[in-house]
Amino acid sequence: MDRFQFHRFTEAVKASLLGKHSREVLVFLFFVIVSAGFWLMQTLNESYEVELEFPLQLEKVSEGTVITSDLPEAVHVTLRDKGTTLLRYVLRRQPTLRIDFSAHDRGASFGCVGVPHSEVQKQLAHVLESSSRIVSLRPDTLEYYYSRGLKKRVPTAFRGNLETDPQHYLRTVRCEPDSVTVWGEESFLDSLTEVPTVVTNLNDLKANISRKVALVPKRGVKYDPQEVVLTAEVDEYTTKTVQVPVIGTNFPGGLTLRTFPATAAVTFRVGVKDLKKYEADNFVLTATYEELMALQDSALQLRLRSVPEGVALISIQPEYVQYLIEQTEDE
């Protein structure tokens, strides 16, 4: 835009603002603003209620004292005053109200201290206008617990249910750390045998998981740490087949068992990570002499006499074998 075009633009704007219609609009807006100002001043001079949040802080805690349940983070105060005063409160940051631990310390090894509302109101009186009236305080109870030297190392315990999809299984489940330090009342510590996690349910797991899980909170008790890492190792199922010989047991001297075929295929389901652990030697197919003598025909049903842990869905092929009881050559 050159100088000539700019000059034409400014003249057009000036003419528009100085026109009769524009002057009427500006006068109307002026009176609207003045009216709004008077309305706002009149409104703010009336009394209202507002809820403010004042932070709470416990200070002067003696050395060796552990706060097992702290004060609430803040107290909610409902005030009544003129709108102008309440507006100043809302626009500023509220000061922290400080509770002196030493003023309530009676030297006990464990204790619960209730802070009266009057103590909080006394501090509020120093930071509020004299015209402000306290209508209510929340929460109704302000208290904290402390302990001196009363602690115990306690095992953690997972609470919940972990389920995999049909093609996987849980190999291991553990919480780390496996124990935590607990502070609390002596009688409670004496009876405490484990610290449970909050109930955690997970379904359709297909891979390893590792996540933080909180311990079940209890008023007046402190844990260190306050959460554990839940680790679940998930493995995939696979199948394996091994050839297992059929063995005769309890046979009299000079007699031996011969089956047709001499071995059977044992197929089983196992985790991929444990696949190499299981061979034919881990399974035993036997028939006792007494069992064979009780049979009415020459067909023997094969059954496993020994099954290792960690395998499932076992099948044997063939299920039946033919057999002979033979005399050894030495005899």
Q: What is the CATH number of the domain that holds 314?
A: 2.170.120.30
Label residue 328 by pLDDT band (50, 70, 90).
Answer: confident
Per mean pLDDT, which range of 5-9, 57-61, 288-292 is the poorest? 5-9
Q: Do 283 and 242 form a contact (C-beta atoms < 8 A)? A: yes
pTM exceeds cut of 0.75:
no
Alpha helices for 92-130 (secondary structure H): 117-127
Domain region containing 191 = 151-236
Which residue do the tokens 């306050």 mark?
A: 226
Judge whether residue 285 has pLDDT over 50: yes
Per-chain mean pLDDT for the chain: 86
Residue-level pLDDT at 47: 77
Q: Which of 148, 180, 201 is the C-terminal boundary of a domain? A: 148
Q: What CA–CA distances, in Å, run from 136 to 44, 77, 118, 123, 125?
A: 22, 6, 12, 15, 14
Residue-level pLDDT at 106: 83
Judge whether residue 329 has pLDDT over 90: no
Q: What is the pLDDT of residues 62-118, one digit of tens each?
A: 888 999 999 999 999 999 988 788 888 888 899 999 999 998 888 888 999 999 999
Residue-level pLDDT at 331: 46
Q: Do 159 and 200 form a contact (C-beta atoms < 8 A)? A: yes
221 and 243, same domain (yes or no): no
CA gap 252, 305 in Å, rounded = 20
Q: Does the CA dihedral 73-78-79-83 come out positive or negative?
A: positive
Q: Which of 236, 258, 280 is the C-terminal boundary of a domain? A: 236
205 and 272, same domain (yes or no): no
Residue-level pLDDT at 92: 87
Give the CA count within 13 Å in the CB-facing half-sphere of 26: 8
Q: What does the pLDDT average to over 235-245?
A: 93
Judge whether residue 174 has pLDDT over 80: yes
Q: Which of 103, 126, 148 is the C-terminal boundary of a domain? A: 148
Q: What is the pLDDT of residues 113-171, one digit of tens each?
A: 999 999 999 999 999 988 889 999 999 889 999 998 889 999 999 999 999 998 999 98
How many domains in the chain?
4
Q: Please report, for the domain that includes residue 94, its CATH number.
A: 2.170.120
Q: What does the pLDDT average to over 25-30?
A: 59
